[in-house]
Amino acid sequence: MTTQEIQQMMLSVAEEMTRHTEMLCELDSYIGDGDHGITIERGFKAVMEQIDGKSFETPVSVFVAAGDAFMNTTGGAIGPLMGSFFRGARKKLAEAREWGAEEFEVFLSSGLRQIKLVGEANEGDRTLVDALSPAVDAYSKARAEGAALDECMKKAADAAEAGAQATKNMIAKKGRAKFLGEKSLGYVDAGATSMSLLIRTMSNLVHS
């Protein structure tokens, strides 16, 4: 995919992510502050403003701009985490002028690495890592089997959704929810759901 195609994809992704505010706030209200959806909406509106109508040299520069916009306009934990996700591959893919299956794998895996570093979170902590980590594994497995970009992303999106759903059986270990202990069981994590939605939306928009 070209830089222009990545830019248009990211605009569409950002627009779609602003449509889930109420649902994400409801999920967050069970064991959090209930404002996760509002934060996500604010962040992705900033992303749209940051990249719409601008000129970018490389695909990764689109994502770096998106990450900067998210980090500069959102508070709490999600701003640095989403920002780190989008900015994670800025060095490894700095020279790539077009992205295919290989580049998207680097993007996702680098984003996961940065989120785990910044958020000090691991699999099983009941965070967006629990959606992104299985997505990266599924993507890499599909690519190793020779799948094209769109199929790799579909596998990643399916795995992310399953991972997000699995958080209802996890005790929160990060954020304010960690103080609830076993009372955090039974509810899907809002952050993991956001990551799942993000990957699914990207999957619907990429092409090989």
179-194 confidence digits (pLDDT tens): 444 555 668 899 999 9
CA distances from 178 to 23, 77, 189 (A): 22, 14, 12
Q: What is the pLDDT of residue 76?
A: 77
What are the tens digits of pLDDT across the range 95-108? 999 999 999 999 99
- Which amino acid is it at 36? H
Query: Helix (H, G, I), strand (E, B), or coil: what is residue 173?
Result: coil
| Chain segment 41-81, per-residue pLDDT in tens | 999 999 999 999 999 999 999 999 999 999 999 977 889 99
User: pLDDT > 70: what percent of the chain?
Assistant: 92
Is residue 53 classed exposed, middle or buried when 0-12, 13-18 and 19+ CB atoms within 10 A define those classes? exposed
Nearest to 78 by CA among 128, 16, 11: 128
Per the listing, tokens 């403003």 go with: 49
Q: In the structure, what pLDDT confidence band is assigned to residue 169 with cuts at 50, 70 and 90?
A: confident
What are the tokens at 62?
A: 């689109």
Architecture (CATH level 2) of domain 3-205: Alpha Horseshoe (1.25)
Over 90: is that where the pLDDT of 176 sits?
no
Count H helices and E strands in the chain, helices first. Answer: 9, 0
Domain boundaries, the chain: 3-205
Contact of 119 with 178, CB cutoff 8 Å: no
Q: What is the mean pLDDT of the chain?
A: 91
User: Measured between alpha carbons, how far is 132 from 195 in angstroms, rounded to an integer?
Assistant: 7
pLDDT at 178 > cutoff 60: no
Residues above pLDDT 90, as percent of the chain: 79
CA 7 vs. chain centroid, Å, equals 16
The reported pLDDT for the residue numbered 180 is 46
Largest CA distance in the chain: 49
